[in-house]
Amino acid sequence: MADGFTKRHGLKCLVYAEHHDTIQTAIQREKNIKHWPRAWKVRLILDSNPDWNDLYDQWT
Is the pLDDT score of 11 beyond 70?
A: yes
pLDDT of residue 55: 95
DSSP-assigned states of every residue in the chain: --SSHHHHHT----------SSHHHHHHHHHHHHTS-HHHHHHHHHHH-TT----HHHH-
37 residue type, one letter: P
Residue partners of 5: CB distance under 8 A and separation at least 6: 11
- For 15-47, write each residue's pLDDT tens digit: 999 999 999 999 999 999 999 999 999 999 999
Q: Which of the two residues, 21 and 12, has the higher pLDDT score?
A: 21
Question: In terms of pLDDT, which residue wins out, 2 or 8?
Answer: 8
Is the model's pLDDT at 1 over the cut of 60? no
